[in-house]
Structure 1
Amino acid sequence: MCPALKSCFRATMARHDTDLPFGDAFSPAQLHTDDDRTELSVVLEMAKEYEGQEDEFDEAIRETFFPGDVDTTRAKNVRLGMKDRGYKITDEDFYFTELGDELHELRDDPDALYDRFAKHILRNLHGLKGIEIVEDLEAEGRKTVNDNVKEEFKQQYDFHIDETSNHWSQMRAWMSEAGVVNKGTHRYDIDRTRIEELIGVDSEDIVELDGLTEQQQAFLRALALIDPPGEVKSRTVKRIAEHAYGVNISQSNISRRTLDPLEEAGYIEWEHVSGKPNLIETTDKFDAEILKPVLDDLSERVGVPRHVLRLSFDEVMEELDSDSTHEKGVALETLTVKTGRLLGLEFVGWRVRGRKTGGSEVDVVMDEIDTTFNRWQIQCKNTKSQLESKQISREVGIARILQTNTILMIARGGISQDAKQYANQVMRHENIAIMFLTGDDIEEFDDNTDHLLTVLRGEARRIHNIKRLDRREVEQEDGMDLIDREDEALEEFEDELDFDQDQPSLDDYTPDEDEDSED
């Protein structure tokens, strides 16, 4: 389903559903036991006893956990939390799913039980998405309160979550039983070692996978779908990726744009034999069972690439000088988007990715949505040579197509005088602002984030001077209108202004003698 239709569909169902698992009363906070058994073990035993008997189960839950309730409303919500809209422990007829049977078998081993349940939440119920969102917020220095977490679910995954929903808190509480994360405070303590033990992939791998292009992710997903025992033709994987995931992978440059980056990331090995299909073989790092759900998660994500949120500007500047063209490309993308984020801009998409240019340049489109709308085109050059006028000219041409208002050029090597003069000439005649940043400016961002605003304010004043209108240009039309109105007024009241030439003036006025007489 296309993004627009998906958003429309979610808007339609928003009054009733949420994209996080429905929990409500099915949560550790509401299910208390008086003995040594865990709350989940007790619920599983009762679900097994009353399998397929929903009313009987509701009444048993009410008596056990909510004896003061006059009806079974909360008990019913426990049952709903176990169904498909919730944690998928039972089906819609209230019979155990495969997961439910597995959990029931583990009911006498609390550690194994909660580990398996947490693994299910992380992999299948968006738990890993939530953990990554929290780490994104922490990396950006933002508060990890529920409102921000829910907002990022909406921004990154187009999820619908009710404003009053506490479903994420319930998911967090269940995962806390396995030691994945703490609970009861907006300050998170995430145990990455436990997560890696449960799902087999660490945070660095997830960030690396998130940094792959859409085509590279789709190719890797298709490879995980096939899970070949040995060598497989790259052409076959390509076709499956295109058919299953709706991408277009160019065969003419598949080696450079897809196979080489995946080999460099350590997931595949491949060889080219002249006149024969490319053959791919997976490495020890590749594990289809682990990669498939992680890649499925990442494929749903939109907006700012995750690696952008995790690197400091100092780290970015170091990687811009890397010997690896892949690392330079990623660093360049990171620099560009982080700069836009500092300006409060929303990521729209890539026009040119750094990995496709060997880390020499990148072009990203971002929007400013406030009381007015402003589209930014941010171009970053990672070269020692100065920016030239022909490069400005190309960006201006693209800006006309994209209806861009502001072009921000970031050039590590500086800006040539010719480029500045050309930009000034364009700005005098077109509704485009062209701003410049240099490598020296970027190096100050970590220690002084206000430096970006200071530099851009200076750029804005420079552009204001370039675009300054002559006072006569501004007032010309109004001035002509004023002259016309003045002439009309004189003509309208001409009779009243027809002074009698014989009328005495004040100079002819002589006071009465009585007034000047002295007694």
Structure 2
Amino acid sequence: MAQPSDIPVGSQFTPDLVDLSAFLDAIIAHSGDKPAMEEATTRGPVRIQPYKKPPTRRQASLPLEAARQYGLIEPIPSWEATALSHTLAALEGDDLHRTFARHILLNLGGLRVVEAAQQMVHDGLKVTGDSLAGYLTDQGFQVGIHNTAINSLRKWLAEADVFPKRRHRAWEVDPAAKEHLVGMSDETVAALVGLGEEQQAFVEALCRIEPDGRYPAADVRDLTESIMGRRVDRANMPKTFLEPLQEAGLIEFTTRGTSGGKTSHLRTTDRFDAEVLRPFIARTIKHLDPSLIAYYRRRPTNIRADLTSKDRNIKGEALEALAIWVMRLLGLRFVAWRKRAADETAHAEVDVLLAGTLGNVPTRWQVQCKNTPSGRVSLEDIAKEIGISLVTKATIVLIFANCPVTTHARNYAQEVMKHSALTVMILDHDDLNEIIDSPGRIATILRREAHKITNISRYGADWLAR
């Protein structure tokens, strides 16, 4: 059974085939009457390119089915025009296409597509509709490959200048157009995506209140608890809620301490726009990967300093950044994070799956980054990763350890490689520092490890010498 798409699907609904303004007028005029909608949308002025011969009933239905996925027609069984359609129909020209593009970005996974296109360009990867669909699907965001969906979405965003309308460099993102439509900068997006569940609920509470002037933060917290259905962290409200939003540029606050029932007061900034933030927190944020977005806004030179931070969250983010940095150095693509509870490792470990070709050989990498300078990598740590590789289908297990590695662990890895086709590479604290100081050294270090592995006598191949 095919995975459901995370972006709208459907054909025969693109700006080079359909005049959006006329289409909206037609579905509103015949709202609820599908046959009448089909009749009106298969001819001018809706249809820009006439059919070469009368369309079949199925062909006539395709644009309406696509429009339903774009949120213009109510779900089955109704064929009524949505409130969004009525809103859009009142607009003209650029305002119409920009408002529709904003809807696609914030509500239909469009921003994830745009972010992925930027990431691929950043990593020197060729961007086409198929390669971008594969890149996203590998990360768990389902987009059909060899399907018109992603190109249809691109064409609608191109009407608002997010992508060029010309075919040359069709996937080159215009950052200014993107920021204008989303209503916030890339830095603000990264900050919001990195918020925890309680912090996101705090933003939602602020959007509901839309305070004018100074407002008691405790009241926002109380509404947050109503949204969450439980008590939230009250121990240090400025650090938990206010400081992250101030860093994102959304609020300013003053604290009056906690004695005598005093509470902090906040004031929203010009960047705070409830109409933008509400759908972003409710829908857009679930499509975005916070670790990937944060990394592509991050300077790799800060990774080493953050690895020794006393803040566990910063240490965890530094590990994620390290994993993605390794990916880029090796020319691999991100596949997925391996989920684990934060309290299981106290943010001292992160696991990621990568894929790509090395020397024309397809590879799948299971990478663990371990950041426990006072600890060590034990035999048990290696055994666990090797066991998990049976599920991840990794061909290479790479362990980045910001700590010593025991002799037993290295010996066990060698024994595994003697008896299986799995490759296990272990890079320790010294290797890590060498790579951070001189990123190009990763090739030399991996070549060194590969040479060691090549010299291992792998059992089961003796028959080749006969």
Sort the TM-score into its range (normalised by shorter chain): 0.7 to 0.9
Q: 2:128 touches 2:171 (CA, 8 Å); kept in 1?
A: no
- Gaps spanning 5+ residues in structure 1: where? 1-10, 32-38, 382-386, 479-519
Counterpart amino acid of 2:12? Answer: A
TM-fit CA distance, 1:154: 2.5
In structure 2, the partner of 1:337 is: 324
Q: TM-score, normalised on structure 1?
A: 0.66
In structure 1, the partner of 2:40 is: 60
In structure 2, the partner of 1:112 is: 95
In structure 2, the partner of 1:174 is: 156
Query: What's the secondary structure of 1:51's corresponding residue?
Result: coil
Distance in 1 (CA, whole Å) between partners of 2:412 and 2:308 is 38
- Name which of 25, 31, 46 aligns with 2:26: 46
Query: What's the secondary structure of 1:392's corresponding residue?
Result: coil
Q: 2:352 touches 2:367 (CA, 8 Å); kept in 1?
A: yes
1:377 aligns with 2:368: yes
Q: 1:155 touches 1:303 (CA, 8 Å); kept in 2?
A: no
Query: What's the secondary structure of 1:136's corresponding residue?
Result: helix
1:136 aligns with 2:116: no
Counterpart amino acid of 2:448? Answer: G
1:452 aligns with 2:437: no
Distance 1:75-1:433 versus aligned 2 partners, 3 A rule: closer
Query: What's the secondary structure of 1:305's corresponding residue?
Result: helix
Query: What's the secondary structure of 2:16's corresponding residue?
Result: coil
In structure 1, the partner of 2:146 is: 164
Segment of structure 1 superposing worse, 94-103 or 129-138: 94-103
TM-fit CA distance, 1:392: 0.8
In structure 1, the partner of 2:72 is: 88
Distance 1:174-1:331 versus aligned 2 partners, 3 A rule: same
Distance in 1 (CA, whole Å) between partners of 2:454 and 2:232 is 45
In structure 2, the partner of 1:408 is: 399
Q: How does 1:176-195 map to 2 (within 5 A)?
A: 176-183=158-165, 184-185=167-168, 187-195=170-178
Query: What's the secondary structure of 1:121's corresponding residue?
Result: helix
In structure 2, the partner of 1:489 is: none
In structure 2, the partner of 1:488 is: none
In structure 2, the partner of 1:239 is: 225
Distance 1:266-1:150 versus aligned 2 partners, 3 A rule: same
TM-fit CA distance, 1:170: 1.3
In structure 1, the partner of 2:107 is: 124
1:305 aligns with 2:292: yes
- Name which of 143, 149, 158 aligns with 2:132: 149
In structure 1, the partner of 2:279 is: 293
Counterpart amino acid of 1:68? Answer: K
In structure 1, the partner of 2:421 is: none
Higher-Rg member (1/2): 1
Distance 1:44-1:369 versus aligned 2 partners, 3 A rule: closer
Distance 1:220-1:439 versus aligned 2 partners, 3 A rule: farther
- Name which of 13, 18, 23 aligns with 2:5: 18
Query: What's the secondary structure of 1:25's corresponding residue?
Result: coil
Distance in 1 (CA, whole Å) between partners of 2:306 and 2:299 is 11
Q: 1:309 touches 1:338 (CA, 8 Å); kept in 2?
A: no
Q: 1:377 touches 1:404 (CA, 8 Å); kept in 2?
A: no
Distance 1:167-1:426 versus aligned 2 partners, 3 A rule: closer
Distance in 1 (CA, whole Å) between partners of 2:99 and 2:407 is 63
TM-fit CA distance, 1:318: 8.2
Q: 1:350 touches 1:363 (CA, 8 Å); kept in 2?
A: no
TM-fit CA distance, 1:455: 0.8
Segment of structure 1 superposing worse, 136-145 or 203-212: 203-212
Q: 2:6 touches 2:108 (CA, 8 Å); kept in 1?
A: no
In structure 1, the partner of 2:88 is: 103
Distance 1:174-1:407 versus aligned 2 partners, 3 A rule: closer
Equivalences, count: 419
Query: What's the secondary structure of 2:376's corresponding residue?
Result: helix
TM-fit CA distance, 1:352: 9.2
In structure 2, the partner of 1:427 is: 410
In structure 1, the partner of 2:181 is: 198
Question: Relative contact order: is structure 1 or structure 2 higher (C-alpha 8 Å, sep ≥ 6)?
Answer: 2
Counterpart amino acid of 1:55? Answer: P
1:392 aligns with 2:365: no
Q: 1:320 touches 1:331 (CA, 8 Å); kept in 2?
A: yes
Q: How does 1:211-230 map to 2 (within 5 A)?
A: 211-225=194-208, 227=210, 230=215
Distance in 2 (CA, whole Å) between partners of 1:24 and 1:321 is 52
- Gaps spanning 5+ residues in structure 2: where? 357-361, 390-396, 417-423
Counterpart amino acid of 1:378? Answer: C
Query: What's the secondary structure of 2:124's corresponding residue?
Result: coil
Distance in 2 (CA, whole Å) between partners of 1:396 and 1:286 is 51
Distance 1:254-1:364 versus aligned 2 partners, 3 A rule: farther
Q: 2:139 touches 2:336 (CA, 8 Å); kept in 1?
A: no
